[in-house]
Structure 1
Amino acid sequence: MGAVDFLLRIVTADIEAYERFFFEKLSMVSGIQEVNSIVALSEIKSTTSLPVLRG
């Protein structure tokens, strides 16, 4: 498979909550061989909207 097969955006209250999610949920999923995490220190812009071309 490729370098990244899935990209998840996980939002938790704090790093301890992420750690619990990782060990209690994510690491229990069969078939997951490797997990890489990047933690954002601050948020500049957050959106889930996509541009729609009209016409």
Structure 2
Amino acid sequence: MLAAGCWLLAAGCWLLAAGCWLLAAGCWLLAAGCWLLACILLNSLKLVKFLSGI
């Protein structure tokens, strides 16, 4: 009984660790998406300024 409890606890810890890794990966993806969006917006603004200057 005790051994089964330990195995369940270990499995829970592994799942928690996996969840943390997934969360961290999600944060990195979100940050990358924000950088990409910022670059696109910045380039769009430059393009608009360039076109309005013509």
User: What interval of TM-score do these two structures reach, taking the shorter chain for normalisation?
Assistant: under 0.3
Answer 1 or 2: higher relative contact order, Cα 8 Å, separation at least 6: 1
State the TM-score, normalizing by the size of structure 2.
0.26
Determine which structure has the larger helix proportion and give its number: 2
TM-score, structure 1 normalization: 0.26
